[in-house]
């Protein structure tokens, strides 16, 4: 269980996140909903330790994430940004193998072998020697997932994962999420996509001005309350 306790984040004088507390399971998708500017991306970046100026605690198995070594941290959290953030000067194989070789002190051959297996699982092994600029949006996304997944993290964080995808690649991404959950990799998704979000209503948190104003847990409630913000969001055209 990934635990977030009393998390707040300031940027300048503006409080972006306000005393958030919740737990994230490895067996269910956790969905973050809310308008642009509500704090979803900042929350993901805090969990991924890409924002260091936060208060509160983010822990896994009783250990604060910010106290872990880089290797342990990479085994706990993987983050896939909206832009995918692939290194433009490296082919896909090197993009995915570089951190693996450094953190695990592997030879290039060992890192390549493990990376190729991950690329195969995501059906992009044939793109190993391609440059990011040669790939479609869906292919770049799978490459970014492979780069995180090769480090075997317990949780993967996705920021607006379907914003640049066509319907076919959105459907493919949905299956990737289901496969990750089946393999006991926790998934945390920030999304504006109503159709996509409606497929992963295990645990849902609605953010507004940096605060949780509503939540839904499928294990405790049969249906989402019709009068709430989550229902209205999912019903928008």
What's the pLDDT tens digit per position in 43-90? 999 999 999 889 999 999 999 999 999 999 999 999 999 888 899 999
User: Please, is 119 exposed, middle or buried when counting C-beta atoms within 10 Å of its C-beta (0-12, 13-18, 19+)?
Assistant: buried
CA dihedral 108, 113, 118, 120 (to 10 degrees): 130
pLDDT for 13 equals: 84
Give the residue carrying structure tokens 């920021």: 159
CATH code at 84? 3.40.50.300
How does pLDDT run across 104-149, given as a tens digit for each residue? 999 999 999 999 999 998 999 999 999 999 999 899 999 999 999 9
Q: Using CA atoms, how far apart are residues 44 and 145, in angstroms rounded to an integer?
A: 16
Instruction: Let me know how many helices (H) and strands (E) the chain has, helices first.
Output: 8, 10
* Domain coverage including residue 210: 2-235
CA angle 27–149–125, rounded 5-degree value: 125
The DSSP bridge pattern shows strands 14-24 and 2-11 to be antiparallel
Q: What is the pTM of this model?
A: 0.91
Total number of domains in the chain: 1
Secondary structure class of 149 (helix, strand, coil): helix
């Amino acid at each position: 269980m990934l635990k977030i306790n009393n998390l707040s984040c300031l940027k300048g004088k503006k409080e972006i996140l306000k005393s958030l507390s919740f737990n994230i399971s490895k067996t269910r998708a956790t969905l973050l909903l809310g308008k642009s500017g509500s704090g979803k991306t900042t929350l993901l970046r805090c969990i991924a330790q890409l924002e260091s100026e936060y208060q509160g605690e983010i822990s896994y198995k009783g250990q604060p994430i910010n106290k872990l070594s880089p290797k342990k941290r990479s085994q706990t959290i993987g983050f896939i940004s909206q832009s995918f953030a692939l290194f433009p000067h490296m082919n896909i194989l090197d993009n995915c193998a570089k951190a693996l070789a450094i953190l695990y002190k592997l030879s290039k051959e060992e890192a390549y072998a493990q990376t190729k297996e991950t690329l195969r699982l995501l059906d992009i092994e044939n793109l190993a020697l391609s440059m990011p600029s040669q790939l479609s949006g869906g292919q770049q996304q799978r490459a970014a997932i492979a780069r995180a997944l090769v480090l075997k993290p317990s949780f993967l964080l996705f920021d607006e994962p379907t914003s640049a995808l066509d319907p076919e690649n959105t459907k493919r991404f949905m299956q990737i999420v289901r496969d990750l959950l089946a393999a006991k990799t926790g998934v945390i998704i920030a999304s504006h996509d109503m159709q996509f979000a409606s497929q992963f209503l295990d645990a849902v948190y609605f953010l507004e001005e940096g605060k949780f104003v509503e939540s839904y847990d499928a294990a405790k409630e049969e249906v989402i309350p019709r009068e709430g913000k989550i229902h209205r969001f999912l019903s928008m055209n």
